[in-house]
Amino acid sequence: MSEMRFLTLTLSILLAASPLWAKPKVEVSVKISDEIAKDMPQASLSRDGSSTINTSIYGLIFYFNVTVFSKNAEAVAKNDGQWCITGDTQLDRGAEYQGTLNGNNLEIEIPQKNGKTKKKSFDVIDRKWRKLSDL
């Protein structure tokens, strides 16, 4: 397992074990302030079931510093709603999106060209903004 995947997995486990700051299923608005994109090697399973890393195939992971707003003040009270989230979908810097917060899972509605919306899932990795050197 790559070092970044291990770190991300460790952070996810620690955050999942920590008490939830938000009540389940809270409607929120998310404004994108900053974006960091990183290439991550994709793991694959070998025939014997062991995990190997194929260094020739990469996936792009996005980290966003966002400001989260909600009518439920308890949901975003930590650090004035300035959080760091991660996912595999790029979002527009400066744009505001609607979504649903459920613990550390943030489901964001992304407008499509046909006028419909598509829901994408993001993970809250920290309840403060992060720098590239932090990731």
For residue range 46-80, list pLDDT tens digits in order.
Answer: 555 555 555 555 678 999 999 999 888 777 766 67
In a domain, 56, yes or no: no
pTM, to two decimals: 0.69
In a domain, 50, yes or no: no
pLDDT of residue 60: 86
In a domain, 58, yes or no: no
In a domain, 42, yes or no: no
In angstroms, the first-to-last Cα distance of the chain is 16
pLDDT of residue 6: 61
pLDDT of residue 47: 56
> Domain span at residue 100?
3-36+63-134
Q: What is the mean pLDDT of each run of 10 residues along the chain (135 residues)?
A: 59 53 75 88 58 60 93 74 93 94 93 93 93 76
In a domain, 114, yes or no: yes
Which amino acid belongs to residue 14? Answer: L
pLDDT of residue 22: 40
Instruction: Write the DSSP string, 20-84.
Output: PSS-SSEEEEEEEEEEEEEEEEEEEE-TTS-EEEEEEEEEEEEEEEEEEE-SSHHHHTGGGGEEE
In a domain, 130, yes or no: yes
pLDDT of residue 62: 93
In a domain, 70, yes or no: yes
In a domain, 44, yes or no: no
Q: What is the domain count for the chain?
A: 1
Quickly count: other Cβ atoms within 10 Å of residue 92's Cβ.
11
